[in-house]
Amino acid sequence: MPAVAVDAPHPDRVASALDALDHPSVDVSTDVPLGPFTTYRVGGPAAVFARVHEPSGLEAVARSIQISELPPLIVGRGSNLLVADAGFTGIAVSLGAFCDHISIDAETSVVSAGSAVRLPVLARQAAAAGFTGFEWAVGVPGSIGGAVRMNAGGHGSDMSASLLDIDLVDLADAKASGVGQTRRADELGLRFRGSGLGPTDVVLSARIQLAPGDVATAEAEIKEIVTWRRTNQPGGQNAGSVFVNPVPGKVTAGRLIDRCGLRGLRMGSASVSDIHANFIQADDDGSADDVVRLMQHVRKTVLEQTGYAMRSEIRLVGFEEPW
C-alpha cells in the first residue's frame, strides 16, 4: 500500500513550493487539515494545499513539485483516502470547477465528464437521459478521477467496462500546461481495483461509452442499488470496502473477516462494522492511526487463520511504513 515518509519537510522546501505556486488561478495555504476532504473525516494536515481553479494553474503546481521536490497528492472526493494523524508532508492538490462538467452525446451515447464529477450524479443524469451501463456507480461516493485511478466498480461492473479514454496531465512535467494528453483506456493498466496511473498523473476528464436504454428501467435499477446499499452497508465515517476481495467473485474479504470472528472488533476510535465486516468505521474526532492499526490486525488475523493475504483498497498516505 502506498505510504509517504512522515519527516517534516525542510522550511526552505516549503518556501520554494509556495513561491512557485504564486499564480492567479491557484489558492495556496499551509498546514491545511485533510480529514474534512475525506469520507473518514480523520487525519492530519498537508504541509502545502493548492486549490487550482483553472487548467493553467497546473503548470505552477508542476513547477512547484520540480523546484521543491515535495511529493504531490491529488485530493478528490476522498472516498478512498486515509491520511495519517501526522499529516502529509507534500503538496495536496484540489481541482476546481473546470473539472466539474458533464456532457452527453445523444448520437454516439458517449458521456464526457470532468474528474471532479461525483459518480452518483453522473449515474443519475445518464439514466435520466435514457442511457444505460453506468447505474452501478450510483452507490460509489467518489469522483470520476478517483474512479479511473482505482478502476472503481460494484454490482458486477467497473470503470474498465465502459471507459473509452481520459485526458491526463503529468505533474512530473514542469511544462504541464493544463491541456491534457488523451490516453486510451487500454493504455492505463486498469486491473481489479487498480491502475497503472502514478502519483503525479492528474485525470482531468473521462469519456464513457454507454448504450441507449429505457429511462424507467435504468432509474428502477438505480433505486434497487441504493436500497441494497442502505440495507447492507453502514453509513458514517468510512471509506467503503477496506480490503480487495482476494478472489473476485469467489472469495470475499468480508466473509473471511467474519470467519475469523472480527465483526464488531474495536481498537481505540476505530471498529469493524457490525453491518459489513469489510468496513472499518472511525469515531467522530477519531484517529486515522487507530484505523490503520485495526486494518493491520484484521489483515494479520485473516492471513494466519485462512492463508489469504488481503490487499488494501484504501490509499494510505503519510504513514511511516507500508504493509
User: Could you read off the pLDDT of 148-165 as tens digits, one per residue?
Assistant: 999 999 888 999 999 999
Sorted by sequence, the CB contacts under 8 Å of residue 299 that are 6+ apart come out as 243, 309, 310, 312, 323
Per the model's pLDDT, the better-predicted residue between 181 and 291 turns out to be 291
Give the per-residue pLDDT at 24: 97
Q: How far apart are CA 92 and CA 167, in angstroms?
A: 20
Read off the pLDDT of each residue in 313-321 and give the average, rounded to a whole number: 88
**pTM to 2 decimals?**
0.90
| DSSP 8-state class, residue 191 | B
pLDDT at 288 over 90: yes
Note whether 292 and 320 are within 8 A (CB): no
Given pLDDT bands bounded at 50, 70 and 90, which one contains residue 177? low
Q: Which residues are catalytic?
A: 193, 241, 313
Q: How far apart are CA 129 and CA 166, in angstroms?
A: 22
* Nearest residue to 79 (alpha-carbon basis) of 27, 114, 116: 116
Distances (CA, A) of 35 to 28, 117, 308: 17, 20, 31
Read off the pLDDT of each residue in 137-153 and give the average, rounded to a whole number: 94
Strands 88-95 and 45-52: parallel
Given pLDDT bands bounded at 50, 70 and 90, which one contains residue 175? low
Given pLDDT bands bounded at 50, 70 and 90, which one contains residue 80? very high
Domain extents in the chain: 11-97, 100-231, 236-317
The CATH architecture annotation of domain 100-231 reads 2-Layer Sandwich (3.30)
Phi-psi region at 268: left, alpha or beta (left = phi > 0; alpha = psi -120 to 50): left
The CATH architecture annotation of domain 236-317 reads Alpha-Beta Complex (3.90)
pLDDT at 1 over 70: no
Q: How many residues does the chain have?
A: 323
pLDDT at 323 over 60: no
Domains 11-97 and 100-231 share a fold: no
11-97 adopts what CATH topology? 3.30.43
